[in-house]
């Protein structure tokens, strides 16, 4: 083995639960340092588990999902697809899509990027991993990744918003409000839309600083 | 078309002894490179090559069967769900299928650059037409690819090959000359390429 290439199994990857426990990411791209575009694996441990979250790629990314094993039911717009191993599902940008495991141990690889644009690692990957570290009791490791992600993705509202969620969940109210204030300054309408309904912030609602922001 | 099984993709047998199943072209994917491969009669499933010219990083994921990959001189036997990530484009890599039903999915692109469909895809796609002597179809597929990559020397060279075989000597000379102007190495290829036998004696054929 040398640093020019790497051999691994998708089963060698970490299994990272989303904060709400409904998704399991196997962070392929981060693990191997792949740079040309996004590629990750998602696992449905049990039949009925969500494998691909219900979402649209609003920034123009097109995606390809590859069923590696198990069986998944994809919904792509109005279409329902029973996807066996070896099935490729192409989701153009903006198409509402999701996938549910139809069998235990369903593994799907997701590939994505924006046509005509050089790809850059997205902040969501780092935040997902940081929150997974927190959920696994490794908050310091997660916080270090949050700080590093904010440094690498300056100027967005999503970064400090996610950092605020992280600190609110960790119980550091001062840090949470500091990040939330930065996010608010950058996108007040969006923060007023999302934050009051975000359960991550429930415990902050009684704080006077919450009232200052949201009345 | 939003979905397809790998066994529903086109199957294009290539001279290098493996079967190309085009994924990117099937779905019209523009953002990244992705294709599937099955073994040919020799068992080869990934040709021996490097990505030095394109600068691509590549992931080869075994979807079915088993394959023995050779990367930088080292052998690795892979089962479904296992993959090789070749970070350095210059490394030689190849693979042989160990079962007849093996499928390898290849993902590739150049870090830091917007993806551009590789010229070889149009050339591979034209192989069946060329093999059957449907030169007009083969030429059309190259011309369509050239619209997007007008300065691709490999595409121009292959288009010239098709035109030479297809009885269009003037077009062949024009495109061969353009290919050589972009990259002089194509003159050496043309000197030995039997595709150009029909036009080798034409005035203006590169010496």
**Model confidence over A8-38: pLDDT tens digits?**
999 999 999 998 889 999 999 999 999 999 9
Q: How far apart are CA B72 and CA B69, in angstroms?
A: 10
Residues of B in contact with A75 (CB under 8 A): none
Nearest to A11 among B81, B108, B114 (CB): B81
Q: What is the pTM of this model?
A: 0.91
Angle between helices A123-135 and A139-152 (to 10 degrees): 170
Q: How far apart are CA B179 and CA B109, in angstroms?
A: 24
Q: How far apart are CA A78 and CA A84, in angstroms?
A: 19
B55 touches chain A (CB under 8 A): no
Contact of A23 with A42, CB cutoff 8 Å: yes
A-contacting residues in B 20-39 (Cβ below 8 Å): 23, 26-27, 29-32, 34
Burial class, B20, CB count within 10 angstroms (exposed 0-12 / middle 13-18 / buried 19+): buried
What is the DSSP secondary structure assignment for residue B204, as one 8-state letter? T
Query: What average pLDDT does the structure give for chain B?
Result: 95
Residues composing chain A: 215
pLDDT per residue over A25-76, tens digit each?
999 999 999 999 999 999 999 999 999 999 998 888 999 999 999 999 999 9
Beta strands across the sheet bearing B93-97: B44-49, B93-97, B67-71, B74-78
> Cα-flanking dihedrals φ and ψ of residue B2, to 5°?
-105, -15
Model ipTM? Answer: 0.90
User: What percentage of chain B exceeds 90 in pLDDT?
Assistant: 90
> CB distance B82–A91 less than 8 Å?
no
pLDDT computed for residue B72 by the predictor: 96
B73 touches chain A (CB under 8 A): no
Going by C-alpha positions, the residue among A85, A89, A130 that lies closest to residue A112 is A89
At residue B55, does pLDDT exceed 60?
yes
Nearest to B29 among A64, A69, A118 (CB): A64
pLDDT per residue over A132-180, tens digit each?
999 999 999 999 999 999 999 999 999 999 999 999 999 999 999 999 9
């Amino acid at each position: 083995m040398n640093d020019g290439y790497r051999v691994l199994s998708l089963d060698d990857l970490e299994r990272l639960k989303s904060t709400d426990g409904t998704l399991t990411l196997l962070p392929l791209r981060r693990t191997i340092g792949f740079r040309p575009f996004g590629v990750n694996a998602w696992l449905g441990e049990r039949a009925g588990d969500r494998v691909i979250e219900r979402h649209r790629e609003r920034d123009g990314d097109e995606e390809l999902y590859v069923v590696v094993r198990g069986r998944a039911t994809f919904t792509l717009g109005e279409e329902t697809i029973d996807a066996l191993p070896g099935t490729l599902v192409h989701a153009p940008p903006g198409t509402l899509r999701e996938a549910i495991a139809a069998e235990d141990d369903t593994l799907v690889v997701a590939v994505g990027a924006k046509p005509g644009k050089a790809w850059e690692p997205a902040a969501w990957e780092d935040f997902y991993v940081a929150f997974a570290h927190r959920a696994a009791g490794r908050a310091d490791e997660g916080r270090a990744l949050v700080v590093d992600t904010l440094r690498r993705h300056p100027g967005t509202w999503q970064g400090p918003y996610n950092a605020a969620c992280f600190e609110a969940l960790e119980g550091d109210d001062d840090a949470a409000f500091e990040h939330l204030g930065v996010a608010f300054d950058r996108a007040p309408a969006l923060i007023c839309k999302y934050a009051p309904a975000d359960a991550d912030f429930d415990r902050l609602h009684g704080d006077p600083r919450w009232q200052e922001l949201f009345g | 078309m939003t979905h397809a099984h790998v066994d529903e993709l086109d199957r294009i047998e290539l001279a290098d002894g493996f079967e190309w199943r085009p994924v990117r072209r099937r779905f019209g994917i523009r953002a990244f490179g992705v294709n599937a491969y099955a073994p040919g009669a020799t068992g080869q499933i990934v040709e021996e090559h490097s990505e030095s010219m394109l600068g691509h990083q590549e992931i080869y994921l075994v979807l079915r069967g088993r394959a023995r990959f050779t990367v930088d001189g080292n052998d690795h036997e892979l089962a479904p769900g296992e993959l090789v990530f070749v970070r350095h484009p210059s490394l030689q890599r190849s693979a042989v299928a160990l079962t007849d039903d093996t499928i390898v999915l290849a993902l590739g692109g150049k870090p830091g650059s917007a993806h551009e469909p590789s010229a070889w895809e149009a050339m591979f796609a034209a192989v069946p037409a060329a093999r059957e002597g449907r030169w007009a179809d083969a030429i059309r597929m190259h011309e369509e690819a050239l619209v997007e990559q007008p300065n691709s020397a490999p595409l121009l060279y292959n288009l010239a090959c098709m035109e030479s075989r297809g009885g269009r000597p003037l077009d062949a000379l024009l495109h061969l000359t353009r290919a050589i102007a972009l990259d002089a190495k194509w003159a050496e290829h043309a000197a030995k390429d039997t595709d150009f036998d029909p036009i080798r004696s034409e005035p203006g054929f590169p010496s």
